[in-house]
Chain A
Amino acid sequence: MADMRVKNPKGVKLDHISKIYKDPKTGKDFYAVHDVDLSIAPGSFVTLLGPSGCGKTTTLRMIAGFESPDEGEIYLGDEPINALTPNKRDTAMVFQSYALFPHYNVFDNVAYGLRLRKVPKEEIARRVTDILALVELSGMEQRMTNQLSGGQQQRVALARALVVEPGVLLFDEPLSNLDAKLRVQMRTEIRRIQQQLGITAIYVTHDQSEAMSISDNIILMRGGVIAQMGSPLEIYYRPNSEFVADFIGECNFLKGPVTGVEQGRAVVAIDGTPVPVVTDKQVRPGDEGEIVLRPEAIRIGEEGLLPCRVELSCFMGSYQNYHVRVGDTLVKITDNCPINKRIFNVGEHAFISFDEDCAHLL
């Protein structure tokens, strides 16, 4: 296949962007997006992640130009684009509902943007063919869009956006209408194509596993503001708040006073037992500390760090699911590959332990 890398992937910069909406019930103004300040490197894949109503879609639609920011300026590359209409912006969007033109066949759908750009006929044919090959839809050119499966429609939508070689590719929850298995397949596909083309992509989703599997960077939003930005690994293992920790996966929180601090490490007393953890925060002995622990980072055994009582023990196939009580706190544990391990039953006493690198002080 010809080298299809895009010539000019563009960076995106949001300079203290805010969007105000009126609440239809109370009639009061509120910030749908508040002071979002970030920049996205050319060629990278960035996900806007968050629960519904967090402002992620509004942010994306401001980049596309469908909404205008109330504060701040948006840059595409070095160019401020606030006053540009959507059709004048070098962006292409893949919509949640695919938004294919039902009165066109696959070829005409994909060729739409090229025809608007007055690209010569032969070149249109060549580029559409190439891009359909890339999304593995060769031979489907003459189909009407309602003869396609959901996954195929999604690919047409992707091809239609890609073929105009936009500076930035925008995705608005593109996989939420597909079934679970197809979703996993398509997200790998999208990531593959994005890397193959080297295109800048901004991707909106509320599905944290989708975000983690696909992105270079995740921007986690809540209530219109950025809760945390970082690589999937950082967000997962070094969340900066209970909300982020909880949103990005199953999570346990253990609370207790900080008893000792040294470079990048701290000791927290949980029910009187000193527990060493990593931290990047400025804490002092005597502060209230909160440890974040992922369920799969915890081991359960006949001896260990903290004593516990088993309240739920459930075989899930690839792992054994435990709920245990440590002091007053409920702790969830997923113990992988349980076949060779001692299984604890409800009511039994046991101990939990974990590596200090896996525990993180909020």
Chain B
Amino acid sequence: MARGQSAALDRKKLMADPIMMTTIVLLITFLTLFILYPLAILLVDSLYGDGGLTLGTFQRIFQMHTFRRAITNTLKVGFVVGILSTLIGLLFAYVEVYVKMRRAVGGLFRVVSMLPVVSPPFVLSLSMIMLFGKAGLITRFLLGIYDNNIYGYWGIVIVQTLTFFPVCYMMMKGLLKNIDPSMEEAARDMGASRWKVFCTVTFPLLLPGLGNAFLVTFIESIADFANPMIIGGSYDTLATTIYLQITGAMDKQGAAAMAVVLLCITLAMFAVQKYYLERKTAATLTGKASRARMLIEDKSVTIPLTILCSLAAVFVIMMYICVPIGALFPTWGYKFTPLTFKWFQQVFTRYRGLQAFRDSFVLSLIASPITALLSMIISYLVVKRQFRGKGFIEAVSILAMAVPGTVLGVGYIRGFANGLFHTGVLSGIYGTGAILVIVFVVRSLPTGTRSGISALRQIDKSIEESAYDMGADSLKVFTSVTLPLIKDSFLSGLVTAFVRSITAISAIILLVTPSYLLITVQINEFAEKGAYSIACAFATILILITYGSVVLMNLVIKRFGTSRTIKEAE
């Protein structure tokens, strides 16, 4: 069979569409240059020593006691955090979907699920130290314990679990809502108890989804840099070890090899999660629930579960609130009254806060529209169009999800500090704001693309086809049909990108130069120095900015979103 002709025709049609052609070429260049190349150079650098191809660098790092320990540490933490987060997430989701509860409890749940989105990554570490540390509010002043050491393994595990379980909760909630209640009713009808139904029907159906949530959290935990940095103490994980290898030991080649190891671990997990578990989840839970579920009203079940979850939720919320309050005390741990704004003043008077906020704000503000637009274009191309190179675009933008920030940061150092392949070409962007913006974009692109893809999959393909058929070119189809239909998703992508950028730290901390002050980097510095009050003041302002932009987004979506025009019509 001669398949050549259709391929040639498709190519011709593509050539007849210069806008689409240019877009694809630019996208492929961008993805290759800023995602694939930095990762590739890591591998090249760590394999290519003085005497040509060698495994020497890997041998060297694997002989380092600290590195070997960092691997076991990372895996140990990731595993435990994965399990704990999944279980707590499941508990929350189960209570929300199955148990009749008061509206106030539902409100608590919503707050819990939103907090990690708007908060910078290390806020919980800060409050953990302030509540349970040596001078902790709870440990020292309530319990009278003076030598409580929360730095290390348990500190990281607790903080990461509290940070990541809301993600599991949201994932589990989605899955539970998709279980058709009739299945469980059928089991009840045949005589199974509620517990039996959970064990024999609900749980097995959820199993792939639980595995999925576990691995997602596992990857997040492994990739997490900020929390182990602040609360890890001498307990180093891979991310912090790599950072120290560069900033402390000045061993860039060793760091590159370590980054390759870290990348391999996350990629392997990601492959399992993406290509095995996600498919299985979709296969077992395809249908939508046919009708509303009869909620559990039995008081012996509802009361303990509601109390348990509410307490947990309140605890998490308290942890977050601790940061702004901490910034108001004159001296944390010694002097609590009168409340003062002096730390906030010092942020601006002594610590160049204004510049930090301006730099972070401006860079994120530049990065977020680029990210949002790029991710919508990628999703459009991936979902709606057929062309060669589509697989590449999809794979690379999703692959970026599995790349820890630290790895990307090292990749950028190795890849751009001396120009492309150390030739000096393009070395001009290193150390500029441009490279920071690019890192912001690359770090937020996968989430944006993922939500864009799922939004576009909801839209009937023939709507765009009909516009195309009526005579619209690719650009016109995208601007007149696609974009208006996914306006909500675009707007929320915009804000998510902004929030992610302004709270980012792992990759950026390796790349930032003294000419740019970034808030997150500042907070990290103060926290490391033990200047918690000033760190809290910085963090509080940051939380206010991110929270403000989320609120603003919701208002804008309510006012101008597509769902409004369509809803109004109903």
Contacts and interface: CB of A to CB of B under 8 A. Distances in A.
Interface in B463-504: 463, 465-473, 476, 480-481, 484-485
Interface string A212-235: 000000000000000000000000
Nearest to B10: A68
A85 interface: yes
B529 interface: no
A102 B470 contact: no
B466 A83 contact: no
Interface string A156-194: 010011001000000000000000000000000000000
B288 to A, nearest CB: 19
B469 A92 contact: yes
Contacts of B3: 20, 29, 70
Nearest to B568: A144
A116 B470 contact: yes
B422 to A, nearest CB: 42
A88 interface: yes
A150 interface: no
Contact of A86 (B6, B465, B481, B568): B465
A116 B476 contact: yes
A146 B569 CA distance: 7
Contacts of A84: 13, 16
Nearest to B485: A103
A129 B562 CA distance: 27
Nearest to B476: A116
Main secondary structure of the interface of B (DSSP, over half): helix
Given A67-B6, A71-B2, A83-B12, A117 B471 contact: yes
Contacts of B10: 68
Contacts of A146: 566, 569-570
A31 B460 contact: no
B469 A147 contact: no
Contacts of A65: 13, 469
Interface string A86-117: 11110111011101111100000000110011
A138 B465 CA distance: 26
Contacts of B297: none
B525 interface: no
B565 A83 contact: no
Contacts of B2: 70-71
Contact of B469 (A31, A64, A82, A143): A64
Contacts of A161: 470
B5 to A, nearest CB: 5
By size class, the interface of chain A is: 35 or more
Interface string B4-48: 111101101100110000000000000000000000000000000
A66 interface: yes
A19 interface: yes
Given A65-B13, A99-B463, A116 B472 contact: yes
Nearest to A91: B469
A69 interface: yes
B1 interface: yes
A112 B467 contact: yes
A25 to B, nearest CB: 15
B466 A99 contact: yes
Nearest to B4: A70
Contacts of B462: 95-97, 99
A82 B566 contact: no
Nearest to A89: B469
Contacts of B9: 68-69, 82-83
B469 A29 contact: no
Contact of A88 (B5, B16, B466, B565): B16
Interface string A59-82: 000001111111100000000001
Interface string A38-50: 0000000000000
Contacts of B570: 146-147
Contacts of A68: 5-7, 9-10, 13
Nearest to A34: B1
Contacts of B484: 103
Contacts of A93: 465-466, 469
- Counting chain B CB atoms within 10 Å of each CB, the highest count among A69, A96, A101 belongs to A101
Interface residues of B, number: 36
A86 B464 CA distance: 11
A143 B565 CA distance: 12
A69 B465 contact: no
A144 B570 CA distance: 9
Contacts of A20: 1, 3, 6
A70 B471 contact: no
Contacts of A102: 463, 485, 566
Contacts of B569: 143-144, 146-147
A70 B1 contact: yes
Given A69-B6, A71-B5, A87 B465 contact: no
Nearest to B562: A103
Interface centre among A65, A69, A100, A103 (most CB of B within 10 A): A103
Contact of A99 (B4, B465, B480): B465
A164 B485 CA distance: 24
A66 B462 CA distance: 11
A69 B2 CA distance: 11
Contacts of A144: 565-566, 568-569
B465 A95 contact: yes
A19 to B, nearest CB: 7
Nearest to A70: B6
Given A99-B465, A101-B481, A160-B470, A19 B6 contact: yes
A91 B467 CA distance: 12
A29 B462 CA distance: 26
A146 B16 CA distance: 35
A101 B463 contact: yes
Contacts of B472: 87, 112, 116
Nearest to B483: A103
A199 to B, nearest CB: 16
A161 B465 CA distance: 13
A112 B9 CA distance: 27
B252 to A, nearest CB: 45
B476 to A, nearest CB: 7
A88 B569 CA distance: 34
Contacts of B12: 83
A67 B468 CA distance: 13
A100 B485 CA distance: 12
Nearest to A95: B462
Contact of B5 (A29, A69, A87): A69
A191 to B, nearest CB: 22
Contact of A31 (B1, B4, B13, B473): B1
B471 A95 contact: no
A117 B471 CA distance: 8
B472 to A, nearest CB: 6
Q: Most chain-B Cβ atoms within 10 A of its Cβ — which of A84, A89, A92, A116?
A: A116
3 shortest A-B CB distances, which residue pairs?
A144-B569, A68-B9, A113-B470
5 contacts: A68-B10, A100-B463, A101-B463, A112-B467, A113-B470
Interface of B: 1-7, 9-10, 12-13, 16-17, 460, 462-463, 465-473, 476, 480-481, 484-485, 562, 565-566, 568-570
Interface of A: 19-20, 29, 31, 64-71, 82-89, 91-93, 95-97, 99-103, 112-113, 116-117, 143-144, 146-147, 157, 160-161, 164
Given A93-B469, A116-B470, 5 more contacts: A70-B4, A89-B469, A103-B566, A116-B471, A143-B569
